[in-house]
Amino acid sequence: MAKKPVRAAVGDIRITCQVCGSEHFRDRPVLLNSSGMEFMKLAWANETATGLICWQCGYVQLFANQDLQLYRGDA
């Protein structure tokens, strides 16, 4: 079963898809790997971001901002 869609905002700014304008996303954590950390076998210590995958067109946006808020949304 697919995850339910979410809406997102940073402060008062609502996030929309840069391609189709949709406000509905699937979210998932994304590891921001660096080659140095990979080389030293420390990839697990890299910074993470939140990936928002557009529910409509599949475009992926990454947010490293800790102020990103996710809200339930109905597609």
Give residues with Cβ within 8 angstroms of 60, minimum separation 6: 51, 52, 53, 54
- Give the tens place of pLDDT for each residue, 44-63: 555 788 999 999 999 999 99
Asked if the model's pLDDT at residue 30 lies above 90, the reply is no
- Give the tens place of pLDDT for each residue, 39-48: 566 655 557 8
Distance CA 75, CA 49 (A): 23
What's the Cα-to-Cα distance from 23 to each of 13, 26, 40, 44, 58, rounded to whole Å?
12, 10, 39, 31, 12
Distance CA 19, CA 25 (A): 13
Q: Which helix (H) or strand (E) holds 66?
A: none
Asked if the model's pLDDT at residue 75 lies above 60, the reply is no
Provide the whole-model pTM.
Answer: 0.77
Distance of CA 14 to the CA centre of its chain: 14
